[in-house]
Structures are given as structure tokens and as C-alpha cells.
């Protein structure tokens, strides 16, 4: 059955609202072996991301703390759920997919996790509001920094 476009938009809105109001993995990870602070200087919002990887670089757990707008919190929350079990390379490809989806660029999604792509698709509505692209990508920039052991990153 094909879902009408309006219903899809409502569904995506609901997903963002739910994650924005009830963020998942909003916690410090005491055993994290990667950590970074992400900052959006346009609004002053900041998040700290904690990542635990195993000896093979596979992400075992992700948590975050901080304050931000509903989109940045929802994006961080969704990201923490979609990254468990992924390698840094898979995480990087998902970030590219998100960034391109938010800016209207095509991306090769071959081999990427379909659930993760669905969640990313929910955030891609920000492309109608370019200033909000930084909100949707703040957590992802922070993740890239954490995995490269950079302690701080800015969306500028």
C-alpha cells in the first residue's frame, strides 16, 4: 500500500517530536573511549557526545548530554539509536547521506541500513529551512570529531 505524502509528512513530524520530547540515550557513558563537544555558534547550543567502541572500531554505545532545539535533540537521539553496531566508516556514510538529504544532493545509499535511512529521511525536511541544517547535523559533526579524537567541533 502506498502511504499518501501528507501522511508521511505527519509521520516524520511525529517521529521528530517524539525524539525531541523524549530523547533516547540522554546520558553520560562512564566507559566511553571517545568524547567530543559540539557547538552551533549561530544559536549557542552545545552537546557533548560519548561513544564506546570495541577493539575493532565497532560502535557499542552512544550517549549525549546538553541543550538544543527540538531538531538538534531529535537528531542526536535518533543518531544514538542508529549507530550501535556500526563502524566509523558506516557512520561516516550515514552522515554524508544525512548532509546530502538536508541540502538536496543525491547520495548513493547502497548497503546502508534501511531503518537508519528512514530516520534520516525524517530529518531531511529541514532542507526547506537552510538555517536548520546545522541543527540536524550538530550531533553528527560531533560524532565525527569524537571518532577522530578531536575534543571540540563547531558547525561553522
Residue 69 touching ligand FES (CB under 6 A): yes
Residue 15 touching ligand FES (CB under 6 A): no
Residue 76 touching ligand FES (CB under 6 A): no
CA end-to-end span of the chain, whole Å? 42
Q: Could you tell me whether strands 152-154 and 59-67 are parallel, antiparallel, or unpaired per DSSP bridges?
A: unpaired
Residue 45 touching ligand FES (CB under 6 A): yes
| CA-based radius of gyration for the chain | 15
Which of 32, 36, 135, 143 is close enough to bind ligand FES by CB under 6 A? 135
Dist CA 112 CA 127 (whole Å)? 21
Q: Give the binding range for ligand FES (CB under 6 A) out of 18-26, 55-63, 69-77, 113-121.
A: 69-77
Total residues contacting ligand FES by CB under 6 A comes to 9
Sheet strands (E) in 3-43: 34-40
Which of 40, 77, 80, 142 is close enough to bind ligand FES by CB under 6 A? 40
Q: Residue 71 or residue 116: which is nearer to ligand FES going by CB?
A: 71
Dist CA 91 CA 84 (whole Å)? 10
Grid coordinates representing 116 are 537508519
CB of 125 to ligand FES, least distance (A): 14
Does the CA dihedral 69-71-74-78 come out positive or negative?
A: negative
Site residues for ligand FES per CB under 6 A:
40, 43, 45, 68-69, 71-72, 135, 138
Amino acid at each position: 500500500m502506498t502511504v499518501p505524502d501528507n501522511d508521511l509528512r505527519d509521520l516524520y513530524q511525529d517521529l521528530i517530536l517524539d525524539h525531541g520530547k523524549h530523547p533516547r540515550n540522554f546520558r553520560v557513558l562512564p566507559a566511553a573511549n571517545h568524547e567530543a563537544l559540539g557547538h552551533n555558534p549561530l544559536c549557542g547550543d552545545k552537546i557533548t557526545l560519548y561513544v564506546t567502541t570495541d577493539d575493532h572500531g565497532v560502535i557499542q554505545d552512544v550517549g549525549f548530554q546538553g541543550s538544543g532545539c527540538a531538531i538538534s535533540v531529535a537528531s542526536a537521539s535518533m543518531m544514538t539509536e542508529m549507530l550501535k553496531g556500526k563502524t566509523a566508516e558506516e557512520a561516516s556514510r550515514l552522515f554524508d547521506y544525512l548532509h546530502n538529504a538536508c541540502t538536496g544532493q543525491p547520495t548513493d545509499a547502497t548497503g546502508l541500513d534501511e531503518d537508519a535511512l528512514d530516520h534520516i529521511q525524517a530529518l531531511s525536511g529541514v532542507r526547506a529551512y537552510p538555517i536548520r541544517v546545522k541543527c540536524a547535523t550538530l550531533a553528527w559533526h560531533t560524532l565525527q570529531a569524537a571518532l577522530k579524537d578531536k575534543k571540540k567541533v563547531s558547525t561553522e
